[in-house]
């Protein structure tokens, strides 16, 4: 069993609280770790370390910091399989998914920001009698608070740009999935990364997260998580004039137009709905299909979903693992029951599966579930469930499809399926989201802006947007003789 400690000033330390939180493998119900439960004093200790390291780290050249990003990527590459195995054990996701997505992106994030930053040029604006130079400098100490669904993937998505721009970091990973953050810290220690530049404080949100939000020396907060928690983050940090980046929830629509390739659309909708057991903020949890093709599409979709192999995450052929915890499973199940009360019909799934492995008998599993017959404005169809549940709706024309897609408080992502690419592009421009895909899903270019509108967040991550968030810009206007 792992003992997970804080990582402060290059050392692994227990919390001053002396308290622990259990870390459970959600696919087995097994206790796999004890996590130190931190408090405000631990945050203060981390801030002291980050403050001491800030001058020396920010004084390095961009090229020197890029070299460190490459060193980190190389070190993580050597632990790629260990990262995948650890992530699968901590989250209940299939090992194949952990390898393909989590481990790969955790490494790629560092390689991408190293290469991307190296290609950036300082901005300069010439006037007739003066030159304006835009100088970037670090924000200072930044707080990174990340969720449990893609633990190291999303943590490194923030760490890499924060480091390359010269900041020092206080990170708080989710208390449900601390193992890969701990592995990352040990990797930094092994390669001799400068002490105090990166620090981790583990624990519950009110005990460890809130002091990060409130601390006056922490100048920026980058948060990924649920909208309800995002409101707390904004309410606390905004009055303190901290820079804020909030990537929050979604209730994304997968839209099937009448001219779509229905076989491809069904595969895409199943992937969008059930990857990581539906526990991705980008998942397409509402499927909107043109009524003229709804019968054929529904049959194809149900065939795709029923063919998905659910089981032990450690099996190579498993496609659907568990959800993150029994408590979360019960929340998702409550929405399945709500759907029935709201007049919905369970087309497939809706119950806990009978799995062949006795190791998973206490796991948090739910069959991938498709629900039809619900009003588009029902609670089930508008509230974020964040599990292996999608709702299926029909529309009569393109205008109604747009209205239905925009009928939630969220606006993170969506996809539209059509053989007419120009139609898909024009349609996408009318959807109130930060990201739209045409005939694909989760097709990512890390140079592009990532984030949502409405209650799905504030700000953008990726490429130049991440570099801008983790830096302050000073315009220096030099009068010419």
List the end-to-end C-alpha distance of the chain, in Å, as a whole number.
70
- pLDDT surpasses 80 at 84: yes
Tokens of 455: 């209650």
CA atoms within 13 A on the CB side of 97: 27
Residues 235 and 169 in one domain: yes
The residue-averaged pLDDT of 65-73 equals 99
Residue 479 to residue 481: CA distance in whole angstroms: 7
Residue 240 lies in a domain: yes
Tokens of 99: 């390898």
Residues 174 and 113 in one domain: yes
Residues 96 and 65 in one domain: yes
**Among the listed residues 447, 325, 311, the one whose alpha carbon sits nearest the alpha carbon of residue 386:** 325
State the residue range of the domain holding 183.
2-248+456-479
| Beta strand ranges found along 377-462 (DSSP E) | 389-395, 410-411, 414-417, 437-438, 453-454, 457-458
Residue 233 lies in a domain: yes
pTM of the model: 0.97
pLDDT of residue 356: 77
* Residue whose token pair is 């907060």: 221
Residues 186 and 206 in one domain: yes
Residues 202 and 299 in one domain: no
Residues 471 and 439 in one domain: no
Does residue 250 sit in helix, strand or coil?
coil
Residues 237 and 316 in one domain: no
Q: Which of 247, 319, 367, 384 is catalytic?
A: 247
The answer to whether the CB of 289 falls within 8 A of the CB of 394 is yes
Cα-based distances in Å from 423 to 35, 190, 398, 412, 417: 51, 52, 10, 21, 10
Helix, strand, coil tally for the chain in percent (to 5): 40, 20, 35
**Among the listed residues 273, 247, 255, 264, the one whose alpha carbon sits nearest the alpha carbon of residue 414:** 255
The residue-averaged pLDDT of 62-74 equals 99
CB atoms within 10 A of CB 154: 26
pLDDT of residue 360: 86
Residue 273 lies in a domain: yes
Residue 25 lies in a domain: yes
- pLDDT surpasses 90 at 358: no
Cα-based distances in Å from 293 to 255, 263, 290, 401: 12, 12, 6, 14
Q: What is the domain-level CATH number for residue 401?
A: 3.40.309.10
- pLDDT surpasses 90 at 323: yes
- pLDDT surpasses 80 at 425: yes
H or E segment at 214? helix 210-214
Q: Is 283 known to be catalytic?
A: no
Residues 232 and 348 in one domain: no
Residue 451 lies in a domain: no
Q: What is the domain-level CATH number for residue 192?
A: 3.40.605.10
The total of structural domains in the chain comes to 2
Residues 234 and 316 in one domain: no
- pLDDT surpasses 90 at 361: no
Residues 233 and 261 in one domain: no
Residue 258 lies in a domain: yes
The residue-averaged pLDDT of 168-175 equals 99
The answer to whether the CB of 404 falls within 8 A of the CB of 376 is yes
Q: Is 432 known to be catalytic?
A: no
- pLDDT surpasses 90 at 57: yes
**Among the listed residues 273, 171, 161, 164, the one whose alpha carbon sits nearest the alpha carbon of residue 224:** 171
Q: What is the mean pLDDT of the chain?
A: 98
Give residue-wise pLDDT tens across range 436-449.
999 999 999 999 99
Residue 462 lies in a domain: yes
Give residue-wise pLDDT tens across range 7-49.
999 999 999 999 999 999 999 999 999 999 999 999 999 999 9
Residues 162 and 260 in one domain: no
Residues 55 and 28 in one domain: yes
Give residue-wise pLDDT tens across range 233-258.
999 999 999 999 999 999 999 999 99
The answer to whether the CB of 106 falls within 8 A of the CB of 150 is no
Tokens of 164: 């390359």
Residue 337 lies in a domain: yes
Q: Which of 175, 281, 304, 319 is catalytic?
A: 281
Cα-based distances in Å from 417 to 14, 321, 373, 395, 414: 51, 27, 22, 14, 10
């Amino acid at each position: 069993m792992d003992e997970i400690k804080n990582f402060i000033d290059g050392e692994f330390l227990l919390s001053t609280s002396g308290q622990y939180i259990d870390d459970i493998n959600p696919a087995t119900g097994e206790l796999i770790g004890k996590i130190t439960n931190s408090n405000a004093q631990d945050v203060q200790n981390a801030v002291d370390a980050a403050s001491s390291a800030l001058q020396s780290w920010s004084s390095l050249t961009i090229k020197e910091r890029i070299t460190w990003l490459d060193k980190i990527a190389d070190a993580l590459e050597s632990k790629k399989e260990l990262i995948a195995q650890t992530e699968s054990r901590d989250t209940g996701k299939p090992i194949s998914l952990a390898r393909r997505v989590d481990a790969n992106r955790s490494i790629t994030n560092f390689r991408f920001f190293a290469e991307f930053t190296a290609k950036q040029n300082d901005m300069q604006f010439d006037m007739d009698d003066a030159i304006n130079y835009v100088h970037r400098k670090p924000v200072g100490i930044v707080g990174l608070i990340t969720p449990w669904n893609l633990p190291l993937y999303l943590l490194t998505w923030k760490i890499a740009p924060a480091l390359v721009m010269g900041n020092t970091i206080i990170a708080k990973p989710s208390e449900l999935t601390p193992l890969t953050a701990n592995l990352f810290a040990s990797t930094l220690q092994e390669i001799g990364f400068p002490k105090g530049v990166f620090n981790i404080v583990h624990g519950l949100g009110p005990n460890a997260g809130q002091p990060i939000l409130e601390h006056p020396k922490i100048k920026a907060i980058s948060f990924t998580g649920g909208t309800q928690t995002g409101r707390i983050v904004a309410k606390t940090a905004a009055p303190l004039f901290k820079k804020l980046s909030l990537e929050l929830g979604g209730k994304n629509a997968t839209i099937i137009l009448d001219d779509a390739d229905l076989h491809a659309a069904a595969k895409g909708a199943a992937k969008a709905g059930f990857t990581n057991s539906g526990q991705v903020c980008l998942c397409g949890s509402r499927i909107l299909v043109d009524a003229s093709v709804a019968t054929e599409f529904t049959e194809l979709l149900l065939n795709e979903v029923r063919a998905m192999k659910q089981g032990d995450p450690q099996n190579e052929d498993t496609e659907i693992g568990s959800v993150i915890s029994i408590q979360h499973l019960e929340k998702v199940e409550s929405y399945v029951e709500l759907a029935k009360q709201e007049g919905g019909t369970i087309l497939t799934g809706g119950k806990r599966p009978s799995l062949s492995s006795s190791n998973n008998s206490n796991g948090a599993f739910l069959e991938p579930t498709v629900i039809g017959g619900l009003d588009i404005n029902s609670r089930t169809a508008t509230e974020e469930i964040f599990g292996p549940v999608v709702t299926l709706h029909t529309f009569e024309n393109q205008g109604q499809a747009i209205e239905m897609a925009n009928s939630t408080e969220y606006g993170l992502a969506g996809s539209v399926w059509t053989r007419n690419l120009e139609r898909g592009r024009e349609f996408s421009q009318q959807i109130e989201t930060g990201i739209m895909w045409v005939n694909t899903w989760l097709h990512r270019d890390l140079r592009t802006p990532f984030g949502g509108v409405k209650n799905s967040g504030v700000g953008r991550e990726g490429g130049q947007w991440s570099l801008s968030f983790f830096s302050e810009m000073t315009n220096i206007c030099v009068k010419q003789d």
